[in-house]
Amino acid sequence: PGKLKLKIGGGLAGNNGLKSIKAHLGTDDFVRVRVGIGKPPGRQEGVDHVLRRAGKAERCELDVAMAEAADAVEMILTEGAEAAQGRYNQRS
């Protein structure tokens, strides 16, 4: 959990949030700042994993990731999306 990835453009993959952004912007050519939440454990459904309340350890990881995402957005605005991708997509 908490892995950050920046992406420029791309498909909507049935994501209603992305569909809404595209409808408002009139294009799907925008920068996406994605924060991973990990894979569902065992046979848990993906939707249940996404919508469940995160545990304490996960919340700490996500807090760090959200701060990093905010830094990435600042870099996108000041140095450009490609520079931000080069910095933040290299991390493991």
Q: With 70 as the cut, is the pLDDT of residue 47 above it? A: yes
Answering whether pTM is above 0.75, one says yes
Q: Is residue 28 a contact partner of residue 17, using CB atoms and an 8 Å limit?
A: no
Question: Long-range pairs for 54-59 at CB < 8 Å and ≥24 separation?
Answer: 54/1, 58/1, 58/2
Measured distance between the N- and C-terminal CA atoms of the chain, rounded to whole angstroms: 11
Helices (H) and strands (E) in the chain, counts: 4, 2
Tell me the domains of the chain and their CATH numbers. 4-88 (3.40.50.1470)
Task: Give the mean model confidence (pLDDT) for residues 40-46.
Answer: 81
Q: With 90 as the cut, is the pLDDT of residue 19 above it? A: yes
Task: Give the mean model confidence (pLDDT) for residues 32-39.
Answer: 86
Q: In the prediction, which pLDDT does 92 show?
A: 54
Average pLDDT over the chain reads: 89
Task: Give the mean model confidence (pLDDT) for residues 74-89.
Answer: 96
Task: Give the mean model confidence (pLDDT) for residues 45-51.
Answer: 80
